[in-house]
Amino acid sequence: MISLLSLLACTATAPGPVDNGWVLVASDEFDGAEGEPPDPSKWVHDVGGDGWGNDQLEYDTDRTENASLDGQGRLVIRALAEDYQGNAYTSARLKTQGTLERTYGRFEARMQLPAGQGLWPAFWMLGADIDEVGWPACGEIDVMEAVGAEPGSVFGTVHGPGYSGGEGVGDSYSPVGVDFTTGMHTFAVEWDPEHIAFLVDEVHYQTVAVGMVDGPWVFDDDFFLVLNLAVGGTLGGTPDPAAFPAEVVVDHVRIYERAEPLAQDTGA
């Protein structure tokens, strides 16, 4: 299902998914004036500061201080050290729940990550039925997670019933000589009925497939996207005051579908 996000012509200019059998169907290029909020017809804010089940320390707000456009075609998610609603930090957590929910395809974001102990940026997906079945029954696809103390590594993981939290199925990727905090990098998954392939800068570094998870395969229904910058938590660790303010910069988010569906997509 696609609603409210504009359908776009296939006009990508760089080699990549379009040249490999994918058609661009929706995107946010984050065009707009400096200081504007992200498009509310595309992005919904999760607001709160109860730890989000991971002992996170930030209060996620809907303020432009924590998420806004930079006027140069980029979204900036900003974590600040400040007392707010009983929390010592603020940040933002954006999602497409109710605006874009889709089954299968290629989902990518081009991002620059922040450096610093205690930072936990992520680009991920949740099953759209989460309000009905809860987590982890809804499924979760972590396209990219990282910790600011390890600027040369990112992680890709799936979670579902029987393989959630620390039992999630996935791997890390640490290319020699790459620092994900000093430039833009493209993080993507290519998801079909039986596989979820993880890519960084078009390098395919792992695939999670049916049969590799210790529980039901729950990746066969609509998912929505999430972008956030957590502070602390079970993965981020104790924050270093010198890390703030911290920013995740997002150049684009794009969704593709296959130009020619796989046989299992059509029932063939």
CA separation, residue 38 to residues 44, 73, 77, 111, 249 (Å):
9, 11, 10, 15, 13
190 as an active site residue: the answer is no
Residue 139 token pair: 């499924």
pLDDT of residue 164: 97
Q: If you ran DSSP here, which 8-state letter would residue 16 be given?
A: S
Kindly list the structural domains of the chain, giving each domain's residue range(s) and its CATH number in brackets, ordered by start.
Answer: 17-260 (2.60.120.200)
Instruction: Out of 140, 194, 257, 260, pick the active-site residue.
Output: 140
CB within 8 Å of 196: residues ≥ 6 apart: 141, 158, 189, 190, 207, 208, 209, 219
This prediction has a pTM of 0.91
**d(C-alpha 115, C-alpha 118), whole Å:** 9
Q: Which amino acid is at 2?
A: I
Beta-bridged to residue 172, according to DSSP, are 155
Question: Is residue 136 reached through a cis peptide bond, with omega within 30 degrees of 0 on the bond before it?
Answer: yes
Instruction: Out of 108, 145, 190, 247, pick the active-site residue.
Output: 145
pLDDT of residue 12: 36
145 as an active site residue: the answer is yes
**d(C-alpha 245, C-alpha 267), whole Å:** 50
Across the chain, which has 268 residues, the per-10-residue mean pLDDT values are 34 55 96 98 98 97 98 98 98 98 98 98 98 98 98 98 97 98 97 97 97 97 98 96 98 94 51
